[in-house]
């Protein structure tokens, strides 16, 4: 995700990082070439003029706008839901850590608070890696023993396994201290909230927007843009390339943005900043325990901290 300081309206016109312009430059160049060809040939192909005028384009444009709006709304809804789920992960992790620090404050009864926090932080990192399909070994090795990290490495759902171990730790500590069921219910509610967050992330990650919608919008956008110069050249003349490239930029960019944010856990510039959010949770839990904090992730020169 691109994180940048506020910019004024003039600089916003020339922003490169974070925009989708770099990903659609080839399409715009192709669009410019088709528009120039239409001007050079007077809208003719193989000596025959393509019988297009401006009448059908508004009709197709209305339908295209509806489909693009649906696609972008669906993609943004996935993005917002993913961000809300990670907000709940932060809240539940903080609450669970606070409850453990206050309700199970002593290590002398066999409950290892440090191991509990380490497993909780490892859970957050494991979830990030699972959603992005990356190897969690390096991050797990920072907080888990070599033996435990090795046991988890062969599992498919490492975050779920870590939550099971955390729940077992809490159950044993509660029973050992004679606190009874009410305390276990309080602690287990936060663990269940984390488990529900894992399920919510998996649902978003494993259920993309139906492919047919993407194909329909993609084909319609490209056919509309490629035919547009031949319909406008008779009326616009030499200004046809300028107008057509501008219209194509708008449509291609909307489609590209929808594709990026529809997969909120990816690594594209406009996806969620999972690395930054994971580090924020890590720092927050360590601070609650009075441990040294790792460095906070800062936007680099290109403001990319995804």
What pLDDT digit, counting tens, does each position of 121-148 carry?
Answer: 999 999 999 999 999 999 999 999 999 9
The predicted structure's pLDDT at residue 301:
41
Band of residue 216 on the pLDDT scale cut at 50, 70, 90: confident
Q: 255: which residues sit within 8 A by CB, 6+ positions away?
A: 68, 71, 217, 218, 221
**C-beta of residue 1 within 8 angstroms of C-beta of residue 305:** yes
The predicted structure's pLDDT at residue 113:
86
- The more confident residue out of 227 and 196 is 196
Mean pLDDT over 60-80 rounds to 89
| Alpha helices (H) along the chain | 9-12, 21-41, 56-103, 113-132, 137-143, 146-153, 158-177, 181-206, 211-236, 240-261, 274-288
Encode 236-258 in three state secondary structure. Answer: HHHHHHHHHHHHHHHHHHHHHHH
Looking up tokens 């501008």 gives: 246
- Per mean pLDDT, which of 41-45, 228-232, 247-251, 300-304 is the most reliable? 247-251
User: For residue 234, what are the CA distances in angstroms to 44, 242, 243?
Assistant: 11, 14, 13
**C-beta of residue 120 within 8 angstroms of C-beta of residue 285:** yes
pTM for the structure as a whole: 0.86
């Amino acid at each position: 995700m691109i994180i940048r300081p506020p910019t004024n309206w003039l600089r916003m016109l020339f922003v490169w990082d974070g925009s989708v312009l770099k990903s659609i430059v080839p399409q715009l160049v192709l669009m410019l070439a088709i528009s120039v060809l239409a001007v050079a040939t007077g809208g003719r192909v193989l000596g025959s003029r393509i019988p297009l005028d401006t009448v059908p384009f508004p009709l197709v444009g209305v339908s295209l706008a509806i489909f693009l709006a649906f696609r972008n709304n669906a993609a943004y809804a996935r993005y917002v839901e993913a961000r809300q789920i990670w907000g709940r992960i932060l809240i539940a992790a903080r609450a669970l850590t606070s409850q453990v620090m206050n309700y199970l404050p002593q290590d002398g009864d066999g409950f290892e608070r440090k191991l509990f926090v380490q497993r909780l932080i490892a859970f957050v990192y494991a979830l990030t890696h699972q959603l992005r399909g990356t190897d969690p070994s390096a991050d797990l090795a920072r907080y888990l023993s070599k033996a435990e990290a090795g046991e988890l490495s062969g599992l498919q759902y490492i975050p779920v396994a870590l939550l099971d171990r955390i729940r077992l730790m809490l159950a044993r500590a509660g029973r050992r201290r004679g606190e009874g069921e009410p305390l276990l219910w309080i602690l287990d509610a936060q663990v269940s909230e984390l488990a529900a967050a894992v399920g919510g992330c998996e649902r978003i990650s494993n259920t993309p927007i139906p492919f047919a919608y993407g194909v329909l919008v993609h084909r319609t956008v490209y056919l509309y843009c490629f035919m547009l110069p031949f319909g406008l050249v008779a009326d616009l003349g030499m200004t046809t390339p300028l107008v057509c490239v501008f219209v194509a930029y708008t449509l291609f960019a909307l489609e590209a943005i929808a594709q990026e944010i529809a997969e909120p856990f990816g690594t594209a510039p406009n996806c969620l900043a999972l690395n930054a959010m994971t580090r924020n949770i890590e720092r927050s839990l360590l601070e609650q325990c009075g441990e040294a904090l790792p460095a906070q992730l800062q936007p680099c020169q290109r403001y990319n901290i995804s």
